[in-house]
Amino acid sequence: MADQDFPLIFELSQESRTGFSLPDLDVPEMDAEEMIGSSFVRNKAADLPEVSELQIMRHYTALSKRNHGVDSGFYPLGSCTMKYNPKMNEDVARLTGFSHIHPYQATETVQGALHLLYDLQESLVSITGMDTVTLQPAAGAHGEWTGLMMIRAYHEANGDYGRTKVIVPDSAHGTNPASATVAGFEAVTVKSDERGLVDLEDLRRVVDEQTAALMLTNPNTLGLFEEDIEEMAAVVHDAGGKLYYDGANLNAILGYARPGDMGFDVVHLNLHKTFTGPHGGGGPGSGPVGVSAELEPYLPKPILTKVDNQYQFDYDRPKSIGRVKPYYGNFGINVRAYTYIRTMGPEGLKKVSEYAVINANYMMRRLQEQYELPFDRHCKHEFILSGKRQKKLGVRTLDIAKRLLDFGYHPPTIYFPINVEEALMIEPTETESKETLDAFVEAMIQISNEAKENPEIVQEAPHSTIVSRMDETQAARKPVLSYKKGEN
Amino acid sequence: MEFRYLPMTEQDKKDMLSRIGVQKSEELFSDIPENIRFKGDLDLKEPKNEFQLMNELTKMAQENVTLKSHTSFLGAGVYDHYIPSIVDHVISRSEFYTAYTPYQPEISQGELQAIFEFQTMICELTGMDVANSSMYDGGTALAEAVNLSAGQTKRKKVLVSKAIHPESLAVIHSYVKGPGVEVVEIDHKQGKTDLVQLESELDENTASVVLQYPNFFGQIEPLDEVRKLVDSQKKTMMITSSNPLALGYLTPPGEFGADIVTGDAQVFGIPAQYGGPHCGYFATTKKLMRKVPGRLVGQTVDEDGRRGFVLTLQAREQHIRRDKATSNICSNQALNALASSVAMSSLGKQGLRKMSWMNIQKAAYMKKQLQLNNINVVFDGAFFNELVVKLDQNIKEVNRILLQKGIIGGYDLSQMDNRLQNHMLVAVTEIRTKEEIDQFVKEVRDIHG
């Protein structure tokens, strides 16, 4: 550590300082080493920091100030739906009756919790238009894999072992092809056309008797609604494949359209996006999966059911793909999502999508003079700009993103989707005010002017953050992934 | 109804629609084909105001028996431990919990450094070189380890002990279907993995051997002997799943030559919350660093030479490598990793060892008391904080009676193994008092007769 560096908690440690308060041993002490056997007793204590409680609090408070969250400022990170995380949700999840219950308690003793989960399942059934929902998957990618495994089980149950391919658009999230591989499929890419939608011709070309499924986000990652969805569904279904809906962008269509009505067979949702589970700096999330009746037998077990007004788990599921997670999903995140749905109701959720879409279109129209707009049509909850024009001036999209930091904004998603050059993907969400959107647009306009008049200020950004750009090459070339006394 | 999360006024809406160039917001949805447009109202309950909804949900929560209202001896992978108050105060700082994955290091140093510290603590506890930023939970972390071993060794068979958590075993069975790995289950004998069977199944096609340490019955598996067996086959890996609290006192798997160590850090600062979210961890050797699933934080410097942290070795991950990624994991359990870091910092070097040691003491006391009362504690081996008792009655029935006495009894082992009828897995953590343990023994004795 150099003088200028912010200390690690290990660097604050002083021998014999304590930050804990354990109960006294109130039973007769026995010789633990003898009981365990000396070769199974650690000969050196794990070198954890020895710090006082105030030191810990100051350390993490200082770290929190070195971090930007939605509560710190605007966070238009496309495809991530960085909306406000209601504080009430946090309080509900912390109620003792929800936070301090054990997954192996008898179901009779946790009826309140199961009631909540059951209601949430039913709500998600209605929102997605699917027949049944499981809350077991832990996150979106986990839901994708779960859904694909069900599709696989379905085909195999039909004796259809030749369906080895999953079709994924070139604009898809990286998790889609990755999930396909992990589920034992080969990912095949289908191209987008000049409208930014799946190229129907190309889809017809790649779909065949080996197609297990098409994975699709709708609206897609360009923020555009796949208006040919009915035809696409027919192409895939006619060939015997299934349609998988990636719910990452559900925030655009709540109450306007439902994946079930579009012809999707399996859907996963990201409760930590659309339904306000906080992102937590990367997680935890929750990735429920909804299915049509045809795929219902393959759901991961157990299934939560209601029999004679009692909630219970059904393990007798012979066709199930098995367990995808210990216990029953990320309950704490599900509680937050349920609280949110009950706060908004049907009318509120529809407004969510209406306003998210208005906000995105408004920003898109205000920015299209300064930035290239690759797809000039109504967007849904997010839109894509290209930094092509600025690139000609020597200013890259990465520079624009870094310059936004100086204005106190988290930048949009950049260089994604990969089929758009110098992409900037902007998702304002419905919880931002017009004033915030206007201020962000002004900053973007200023940066575009700077790119013409004073490109260095953009190229060398950020200027106001606590650290400047990081040497990522060094990080990868000589990985230092943990602290070792005297070496960092 | 007012919606406090939606700031758009009627005037805003009018101005914005006009700037967009449409009359009505419906026009923005005109690309949704008429046929599939949803025209009704979603079948959801009508919204409630904050006060009323809080009342309703509080009542719902109160319907549950909790680990606070009752004295719990239930563990089996999820434990009731001391959680320092400071943990919730730290993770309630919204700069942490309302942030996304730290892809912009200049404004995410807080999260990145916190994860780097978490990685370090996990390395310290497990005795491994490298730990990632977290996995969903212990079960899926173990399943990812199994698939990694198959990929790395290009072998298609794994030997998995039946003395691991039954739900981890179930998750492994689901996860291996993708890459097509065969799982051979190795039975338990006297509460530990049957090493004779293990040895006989171990061959040149074995990618890895998977055990839990301490195992699901609380017993401490002889990792030294297991390693010797594994060493007889070149390339075969030893994978363990470990309660990291136990590793505060026990020799870490890394010292026994484990190739991958996984587990769940729920024991550090994370409430049971009905089984999730908890916090999986994944630790391994330097050799396997570039095969690790999920996010890794590394140290580097900025343009001015200041120490800083970034997400690194991302060429392993789905957003870069797509279908060639080492795993599809994206979201992980970052906030819970932070909670665990705070709890581990609070405990520190001395506290963690002491807490681990206290679990051993309390569980040993329980065993002694049970035996003094002629209750059959099966399995003789050394154990951490869980032990198995055999009663004359069905455990479900025993637990029903215990509940009336204000006690949440242990895990009914007949659920995982038919041969273990009337066997209960009892967990005793540092927060159980002598009085509570004595009462448990008395009640069980009374039921047992």
Query: Mapping DSSP to helix (H, G, I), strand (E, B) and coil, where does residue B269 land?
Result: coil
Contact A50, A15 (CB under 8 A): yes
Residue where a domain terminates, one of B307, B342, B377:
B342
Same domain, B77 and B94: no
Strand pairing of B297-301 and B307-311?
Answer: antiparallel
Single-letter amino acid, residue B35: N
Shortest CA gap A398–chain B (Å): 10
- Cα–Cα distances in Å, from B233 out to A157, B92, B269, B447? 37, 49, 39, 50
Which chain A residues are closer than 8 Å to B365 by Cβ?
Answer: 27-28, 30
Task: Kindly tell me the sign of the dihedral angle through the C-alpha atoms of B309, B314, B316, B317.
Answer: positive
Binding-face residues of A in 187-226 toward B, CB within 8 A:
187, 224-225
- Asked if the structure places residue A486 within a domain, the reply is no
Same domain, A315 and A178: yes
Same domain, B279 and B411: no
pLDDT value at residue A4: 86
Same domain, A191 and A328: yes
- Length of chain B counted residue by residue: 449
Report residue B5: phi and psi, to 5°: -95, 0
Which chain A residues are closer than 8 Å to B372 by Cβ?
Answer: none
Which chain B residues are closer than 8 Å to A99 by Cβ?
Answer: 271-273
Cβ B72–A102 below 8 Å, yes or no?
A: yes
* Rounded CA separation B138/B281 (Å): 7
* Rounded CA separation B357/B246 (Å): 8
Contact A456, A390 (CB under 8 A): no
Single-letter amino acid, residue B2: E
pLDDT tens, residue by residue, B15-38? 999 999 999 999 999 999 999 999
Closest partner residue to A225 (CB to CB) among B32, B63, B411 is B32
- Asked if the structure places residue B436 within a domain, the reply is yes
Q: Does A178 touch chain B (CB under 8 A)?
A: yes
Same domain, A61 and A94: no
- Asked if the structure places residue A448 within a domain, the reply is yes
Closest partner residue to A29 (CB to CB) among B42, B320, B361 is B361
Binding-face residues of B in 134-173 toward A, CB within 8 A:
134, 136-140, 147, 165, 167-168, 170-171, 173
Same domain, B295 and B239: yes
Cβ B302–A470 below 8 Å, yes or no?
A: yes
Q: Evaluate if residue B449 carries a pLDDT over 80.
A: no
Binding-face residues of A in 369-398 toward B, CB within 8 A:
377-378, 380
Same domain, A118 and A20: no
Contact A252, A346 (CB under 8 A): no
Closest partner residue to A9 (CB to CB) among B32, B74, B345 is B345
**A153: Cβ contacts below 8 Å, ≥ 6 apart:** A298, A319, A321
Residue where a domain terminates, one of A277, A309, A343:
A343
Single-letter amino acid, residue B56: E
Binding-face residues of A in 33-62 toward B, CB within 8 A:
35-37, 39-43, 45-51, 53, 56-57, 59-62
Closest partner residue to B107 (CB to CB) among A41, A48, A68 is A68
Going by the DSSP 8-state scheme, the letter that residue B181 receives in this structure is: P
Cβ B86–A53 below 8 Å, yes or no?
A: yes
Same domain, B282 and B405: no
Closest-CA residue in chain A for B253? Answer: A40
Residue where a domain terminates, one of A310, A343, A376:
A343
Q: What is the CATH number of the domain that holds A186?
A: 3.40.640.10
Q: Evaluate if residue B320 carries a pLDDT over 90.
A: no
Residue where a domain terminates, one of B279, B311, B342:
B342
As beta bridge partners, residue A425 has A384, A413
Q: Which pLDDT band, with edges at 50, 70 and 90, does B47 fall under?
A: very high
- Asked if the structure places residue A71 within a domain, the reply is no
Identify the CA nearest to B8 among candidates A392, A126, A428, A218. A428
Shortest CA gap B376–chain A (Å): 19
Same domain, B184 and B266: yes
Same domain, A313 and A372: no
For residues A176, A85, A426 and A393, what is the CA-based torsion angle, rounded to 10 degrees?
Answer: -110
Binding-face residues of B in 286-325 toward A, CB within 8 A:
289, 295-310, 312-315, 317-325
CA angle at A221 for the pair A220 and A225, rounded to the nearest 5°: 25
DSSP string, B410-442: -EEGGGT-GGGTTEEEEE--TT--HHHHHHHHH
Count of pairs with CB atoms under 8 A, one residue in A, one in B: 711
- Cα–Cα distances in Å, from A148 out to A155, A452, B214? 11, 48, 34
Same domain, A181 and A280: yes
Mean per-residue pLDDT over chain B, rounded: 97
Strand pairing of B206-212 and B237-241?
Answer: parallel
- Asked if the structure places residue A439 within a domain, the reply is yes
Q: Does B406 touch chain A (CB under 8 A)?
A: no
For B338, what's the count of Cα atoms within 13 Å in the CB-facing half-sphere? 33
Which chain B residues are closer than 8 Å to A4 by Cβ?
Answer: 305-307
Cβ B107–A465 below 8 Å, yes or no?
A: yes
Same domain, B398 and B434: yes
* Rounded CA separation B409/B405 (Å): 10
Q: Does B124 touch chain A (CB under 8 A)?
A: yes
Closest partner residue to B300 (CB to CB) among A119, A378, A470 is A470
Same domain, B117 and B28: no
- Asked if the structure places residue A480 within a domain, the reply is no
Same domain, B402 and B317: no
Which chain B residues are closer than 8 Å to A432 by Cβ?
Answer: 7
For B287, what's the count of Cα atoms within 13 Å in the CB-facing half-sphere? 11
Q: Does A412 touch chain B (CB under 8 A)?
A: no
Which chain B residues are closer than 8 Å to A470 by Cβ?
Answer: 105-106, 300-302, 308-310
Q: Does B10 touch chain A (CB under 8 A)?
A: no
Instruction: Tell me the residue range of the domain where B38 lies.
Output: 10-53
Contact A257, A108 (CB under 8 A): no
pLDDT value at residue A264: 97
Query: Mapping DSSP to helix (H, G, I), strand (E, B) and coil, where does residue B166 land?
Result: helix
Same domain, A414 and A327: no
Same domain, B283 and B319: yes
Which chain A residues are closer than 8 Å to B273 by Cβ?
Answer: 93, 98-101, 331-332
Same domain, B98 and B43: no
Same domain, A101 and A34: no
Q: Token pair for residue A254?
A: 């709540």
Neighbours of B195 (CB within 10 A): 18
Which chain B residues are closer than 8 Å to A351 by Cβ?
Answer: 3, 6
pLDDT value at residue A112: 98
In a mutational test of the A interface, the residue from B59, B323, B399 whose CB has the highest number of chain A CBs within 10 Å is B323
Query: Mapping DSSP to helix (H, G, I), strand (E, B) and coil, where does residue B161 land?
Result: strand
Q: Could you give the number of structural domains in chain A?
A: 3
Q: What is the CATH number of the domain that holds B393?
A: 3.90.1150.10
Cβ B165–A326 below 8 Å, yes or no?
A: yes
Q: What is the CATH number of the domain that holds A467?
A: 3.90.1150.10
* Rounded CA separation B376/B392 (Å): 10
Q: What is the mean pLDDT of residues B373-392?
A: 97
pLDDT value at residue B315: 87
Q: Token pair for residue B201?
A: 């199944």
- Asked if the structure places residue A403 within a domain, the reply is yes
**A24: Cβ contacts below 8 Å, ≥ 6 apart:** none
CA angle at A125 for the pair A122 and A131, rounded to the nearest 5°: 110
* Rounded CA separation A282/A308 (Å): 40
* Rounded CA separation B410/B399 (Å): 7
The residue to which tokens 């509680």 are assigned: A335
Q: Evaluate if residue B299 carries a pLDDT over 80.
A: yes
- Cα–Cα distances in Å, from A285 out to A30, B28, B144, B157? 43, 30, 18, 32
- Asked if the structure places residue B65 within a domain, the reply is no
Q: Could you give the number of structural domains in chain B?
A: 3
* Rounded CA separation A83/A94 (Å): 21
Q: Token pair for residue A133?
A: 């929902």
CA angle at A39 for the pair A36 and A42, rounded to the nearest 5°: 80
Q: Does A26 touch chain B (CB under 8 A)?
A: yes
Q: What is the CA radius of gyration of chain B?
A: 25
Cβ B139–A330 below 8 Å, yes or no?
A: no
Directed axis angle between helix A175-182 and helix A140-157, to 10°? 40
pLDDT value at residue B321: 86
pLDDT value at residue B448: 78
- Asked if the structure places residue A422 within a domain, the reply is yes
Same domain, A311 and A441: no
* Rounded CA separation A232/B286 (Å): 46
Contact B384, B250 (CB under 8 A): yes
Same domain, A304 and A448: no
Q: What is the CATH number of the domain that holds B213?
A: 3.40.640.10
Same domain, B79 and B92: no
* Rounded CA separation A250/A264 (Å): 13
Mean pLDDT by 10 residues, chain A (488 residues): 90 96 96 97 97 98 98 97 98 98 98 98 98 98 98 97 96 93 96 95 98 96 96 98 96 98 97 97 97 98 96 97 97 98 98 98 98 97 98 98 98 93 97 98 98 98 97 95 92
Contact B305, A471 (CB under 8 A): no
Same domain, A54 and A94: no
Residue where a domain terminates, one of A292, A317, A343:
A343
Instruction: Tell me the residue range of the domain where A271 lies.
Output: 89-343
- Asked if the structure places residue A425 within a domain, the reply is yes
Identify the CA nearest to A323 among candidates B261, B205, B103, B136. B136
What's the 3-state SS for chain A? Answer: CCCCCCCCHHHHCCCCCCCCCCCCCCCCCCCHHHHHCHHHECCCCCCCCCCCHHHHHHHHHHHHHCECCCCCCCCCECCCCCCCCCHHHHHHHCCHHHHCCCCCCCHHHHHHHHHHHHHHHHHHHHHHCCCEEECCCCCHHHHHHHHHHHHHHHHHHCCCCCCCEEEEECCCCCHHHHHHHHCCCEEEEECECCCCCECHHHHHHHCCCCEEEEEEECCCCCCCCCCCHHHHHHHHHHCCCEEEEEECCHHHCCCCECHHHHCCCEEEECCCCCCCCCCCCCCCCCCCEEECHHHHHHCCCCEEEEECCEEEEECCCCCCCCCCCCCCCCHHHHHHHHHHHHHHHHHHHHHHHHHHHHHHHHHHHHHCCCCECCCCCCCCCCEEEECHHHHHCCCCHHHHHHHHHHCCCCCCEECCCCCCCCEEEECCCCCCCHHHHHHHHHHHHHHHHHHHHCHHHHHCCCCCCCCCCECHHHHHHCCCCCCCCCCC
Which chain B residues are closer than 8 Å to A33 by Cβ?
Answer: none
Closest-CA residue in chain A for B396? Answer: A106
Q: Which pLDDT band, with edges at 50, 70 and 90, does B281 fall under?
A: very high
**B51: Cβ contacts below 8 Å, ≥ 6 apart:** none
Same domain, B191 and B318: yes
- Cα–Cα distances in Å, from A328 out to A98, A130, B192, B312? 13, 20, 27, 32
Neighbours of B85 (CB within 10 A): 9
Same domain, A96 and A40: no
- Length of chain A counted residue by residue: 488
Identify the CA nearest to B432 among candidates A26, A288, A338. A26
Identify the CA nearest to A255 among candidates A357, A408, A110. A357
Q: Evaluate if residue B329 carries a pLDDT over 80.
A: yes
Q: Does A302 touch chain B (CB under 8 A)?
A: no
